[in-house]
Chains A and B, each alone.
Chain A
């Protein structure tokens, strides 16, 4: 079916080029306007078309930082939006704006969505935090949810994120088992930015790796971007060239998995459940976001009037986190060593029931990659420690802040400043 679509696109392409001839002499062809679900004429803000809410429904708007076509972060959020529509049916109407730049434009976009009459607005990038907070104060009757930040106002503005570190831990276990089965001891990790979120994921992965492969070492490449197809591939090549058996990516594209296939090695993707599609043979698993259940729960609480502007941090038991090959109805990828499957299944079951969570993973004794004891035996990191919070009003400061690298990461690795 897609094939047919593509023959049509071929023809379209030629037509478009001819059509383009009429456009060319005018400098500054307007960029493609972000699409919205509601096809109604509406005020435009800085080139962004604000969608219209639908009367008689609970209108929910999503503000995305990237294109849905990123095949990763924004793609996963959009899947969540579709899930929400499916789950609540006729009661809700959703609309979205993609590729909204962070900063002043974002604030205008969010304010105009609120003004247009949307009942709830979800903003899905860290940089939307302050704009969302500002607009939330101006529109107390509209609900706001910001993803991946740390601000809230106890009434109509909440923040939402999840314990991906739990799934990363399991992914690390699978990677370690694979390296050991191959007679190797090197795992590579592609780390986007030196921030607490990434370091937390990296450390959880390293600890998982050490659980199944006590003499494995983890090599890290900092790439300073979430999304750069070429750089992500190059980082994977660099890691494989340095001897890695498995490369785990913390960035958005499935390029590293592809490189793993080309090298006949193993890759672990991130973000969205289709990240293994590039090369299922050489892809061990993907820890992915399943925003749908959490979105649905939050919107339901808005409908019921029980919504609170809280810090919401869900763990595996919420059903909003996934590990490809191990969730209900899935089977492990062919490359996952058989020995490790029961252990992973057992721990995942514990996580799903809530018996095990991120705090279990980050309980001492934990050493850093230089051998210093970071978390003493019996001590568990707090939520503030995990998020590396400091000086945030209404939140306690971290005491063991997330600025260390766990044992198992190559001893001379440092966190870039």
Chain B
């Protein structure tokens, strides 16, 4: 009984944490390169609405997924132009993109609200593995997009920590002047990673509207983009920890519901209010911690995060 409870909780956590995971991995790359992107929420919303719209119009959810990634990438390109080329404030530009994304997605999505059966990404139990006890239901009986997340987290880790381009990525975020001396084109790489971050946010939005909550409803991300920004700090810019954090968040969202079946929680039903608050409380805490600069250094933030790189000026 208790085991079954845990298994369904973890399976649900992995499923519903997937969208946050994509967005978090994308943001890790952008921040590792030195660009803070607070427009994740807006990009996820735009990704979600365009994925759902394209899937409905063409009947092909994969095309929807592709368009969502392109839309997320385009929005991030905008962020790149404003913050990297024009050297504007990264926080302001990111916030503006969030406003833009949530407003625009609501307008564009208005006719989609009544569409209730656009094609979705398929659920695919992996043969043999899905029948394993415990592990099967937790890991191997999911929507295809969930597997993509499971694979992508270790790949991202490997890229950042074990490859030459990954080393360059870390260099431009830590000490862009030194990287520049080594012949790395700092701004071009930053553009690439910021756009990649947007692509991943778009993918996260598409995962929501095509698989996890397969519908379009105004403001359907409900703050998940912000949770992703917070999770980057919790994960200390490490994709594997980001996976852990995302799945944990997914499970926390589910816990107050499942626990209504347990005798302990039945005795304290008002705990539900408290648990519903937890994820957001957690993000606020992380933000508070990371607001202090020495704290930020201690938890491993890229040293040049938030600062535009100008060759003529002294680097950090």
Contact = CB atoms under 8 A, between A and B. Distances in A.
Contact of A416 (B71, B109, B272): B272
Interface in B225-249: none
A220 B260 contact: yes
Chain A contact surface mostly: helix
A24 B213 contact: no
A67 to B, nearest CB: 5
A416 B269 contact: yes
Contacts of B74: 14, 17
B88 interface: yes
Contacts of A83: none
A224 B111 contact: no
A23 B100 contact: yes
Contacts of A278: 116-117, 215
Contacts of A3: 56-57
A32 B103 contact: yes
Contact of B114 (A71, A234, A238, A414): A71
A13 to B, nearest CB: 6
A5 B56 CA distance: 11
Given A24-B82, A235-B257, A415 B269 contact: yes
Contacts of B103: 29, 31-32
B50 A417 contact: no
Given A20-B78, A219-B261, A277-B116, A234 B57 contact: no
B78 A24 contact: yes
Interface string B102-134: 011011111101111100000100000000000
B218 to A, nearest CB: 5
A98 to B, nearest CB: 10
Nearest to A72: B217
Contacts of B273: 224, 416
A274 B222 contact: no
A229 interface: yes
B75 interface: yes
A150 to B, nearest CB: 24
Nearest to B88: A25
Interface stretch (B90-98, B150-158, B174-182, B304-312): B90-98
Interface residues of A, number: 61
Size category of the binding interface on chain B: 35 or more
Contacts of A75: 113
A237 B12 contact: yes
A238 B123 contact: no
Contacts of A2: 56-57, 111, 115
Interface of B: 8, 12, 16, 50, 53-54, 56-57, 67, 71, 74-75, 78, 81-82, 86, 88, 92-93, 95-97, 99-100, 103-104, 106-111, 113-117, 123, 212-215, 217-218, 220, 222, 253-254, 257-258, 260-261, 263, 266-267, 269-270, 272-273, 276
Interface of A: 2-3, 5-7, 9-10, 12-14, 16-17, 20-21, 23-29, 31-32, 67-71, 75, 219-224, 228-231, 233-235, 237-238, 241-242, 253-255, 258, 262, 274, 277-279, 412-417
26 contacts: A6-B54, A10-B57, A16-B104, A17-B71, A21-B78, A21-B81, A24-B100, A28-B96, A29-B96, A69-B106, A69-B110, A69-B113, A69-B218, A75-B113, A222-B260, A229-B220, A230-B220, A231-B257, A237-B12, A242-B261, A277-B116, A277-B117, A278-B117, A414-B267, A415-B269, A416-B270
